[in-house]
Amino acid sequence: MANEEMDTKSEQILNEKWDLCLSNMLIKSGIGLSVGIVASALLFKKKSWPIAMSTGFGIGVAYAECQRSFNPTAIPGIKIIKPSSS
């Protein structure tokens, strides 16, 4: 019974991380799309490349945050030190 509860907790944590990553990607790509549309209309004479570039930046930022969420030890400059046994 206790083993089943631990599995459920770890599955819930994993599901919460995936939900956060997917919602973060939707929000950041939407913001990038909006910024790209405004920049395209105001600055670049209605070209399409600012829209694609800013949407890609949003997706890239969301991907990096998701990667940090799933693997916090992969952050450059972070060193995990085990506590001493004494």
First to last CA, the chain: 34
pLDDT in tens, 3-50: 555 556 888 888 999 999 999 999 999 999 999 999 999 998 888 899
- Residue extents of the structural domains in the chain: 20-70
Q: Name which of 61-65, 74-78, 80-84 the model is least confident about.
A: 74-78
Q: Nearest-CA neighbor of 26 among 51, 71, 63, 72?
A: 63
